[in-house]
Amino acid sequence: MSKIIVMTSGKGGVGKTTSSAAFATGLALRGFKTVVIDFDVGLRNLDLVMGCERRVVFDFINVINGEAKLNQALIKDKRIENLYILPTSQTRDKDALTREGVEKVLNELSKDFDYILCDSPAGIERGALMSLYFADHAIIVTNPEVSSVRDSDRILGVLNSRSRRAEQGLEPVTQQLLLTRYDPERVEKGEMLKVDDVLEILAIPLLGVIPESQAVLRASNVGMPVILDEVSNAGLAYSDAVGRFLGEDIEHRFVTPQKKGLFSRLLRRSA
């Protein structure tokens, strides 16, 4: 039986797709057979971030409609063993996502995969609801910014009332916070919400803090999940977050401004 994870946020542009690509890759790197599904019907983007856009033949909606077999729509990652992408349709709309259709595909994937990661679209309508409905675990992607925090709270409410687990009175969907685009220098200057502020407001456990990083744009330019950029702070932070998700005890890094270099470090130490 596989575990179903949803990467969700309510708000758009906060880093769900970036995080889905990184997380799926991280799980596969640790040996888990993982598939990442794009639920953003009509606005396909995960394929670009994963670098497989030229290889999309069939998609999630084709499989739901019985126009293609699941194994024909799944794209095997060329770099990482155990990693698969299920792209979405670029031409249909979210109504194509029926609950029965989604369930059928997830059930079939369950037989084969350890983790199924659902990349949610923005909003709290059909696409977002379908992506979270069957989830066992939710990763709430939030930016340290007022509207993002409020939208995350809305999504937590939806998870607690409209997910399958909620409707059937099962054990609730686990909820963890992934705070992304965090800029410690602005936090220090008092210009940005602190990790602790966000945690206090949302009151869910912290999975990780991903710093604002130029590596993210570079990675998406070339179609490589940023977690594969092992010298970038963002890549390392995602890697830590995957470790924590799997139960490892890893200290949070990149939450305070980086020391400026050896010289200033020496100065600091002697001070």
Ligand X SMILES: Nc1ncnc2c1ncn2[C@@H]1O[C@H](COP(=O)(O)OP(=O)(O)O)[C@@H](O)[C@H]1O
Interface residue list for another protein (CB under 8 A)? 48, 53-58, 62, 67-69, 71-72, 90-91, 217-218, 220-223
Which of ligand X, Mg ion, another protein, none does residue 68 bind to, with CB < 5 to 8 Å depending on kind? another protein
15 is in an annotated binding site: yes
Q: Which of 186, 148, 163 is nearest to 12 (CA)?
A: 148
Secondary structure tally for the chain: helices H, strands E: 13, 8
State the binding partner of 54 from Mg ion, ligand X, another protein, none, CB within 5 to 8 A by kind: another protein
- Window 84-123: contact mask with ligand X (x via CB under 6 A): --------------------------------------x-
Q: Which positions from 4 through 33 interact with Mg ion, judged by CB under 5 A?
A: 16-17
Q: Is 78 annotated as a binding residue?
A: no
Beta bridge partners of 34: 83, 115
Q: Please name the amino acid found at residue 152.
A: S
- Residue 181 as a binder of ligand X (CB under 6 A): the answer is yes
The tokens describing 147, both together, are: 């509207």
Q: 64 or 241: whose CB is closer to ligand X?
A: 241
| Cβ atoms of 20 and 69 closer than 8 Å | no
Distance set, CA 48 to CA 17, 56, 174 (Å): 10, 10, 29
Distances (CA, A) of 40 to 23, 91, 195: 17, 11, 28
Strand partners for 210: 180
Whichever of 108 and 183 has its CB closer to another protein, that residue is 108
34 labeled binding residue: no
Question: x/- binding map, residues 9-48, to ligand X, per CB under 6 A?
Answer: x--xxxxxxx------------------------------
Q: Which span (75-83, 101-109, 169-177, 209-217) binds ligand X, by CB under 6 A?
A: 209-217
For strands 115-119 and 174-182, give the pairing.
unpaired
Contact partner at residue 243 from another protein, Mg ion, ligand X, none, CB < 5 to 8 Å by partner kind:
none
In the structure encoding, which two tokens stand for residue 165, read together? 């687990």
Structure tokens at 144: 């340290």
Residues in the chain: 271
Least distance between another protein and beta carbon 79 (Å): 15
Backbone phi, psi, residue 179, to 5°? -90, 115
Binding site for Mg ion (CB under 5 A): 16-17
Binding site for ligand X (CB under 6 A): 9, 12-18, 122, 180-181, 210, 212-213, 216-217, 220, 234
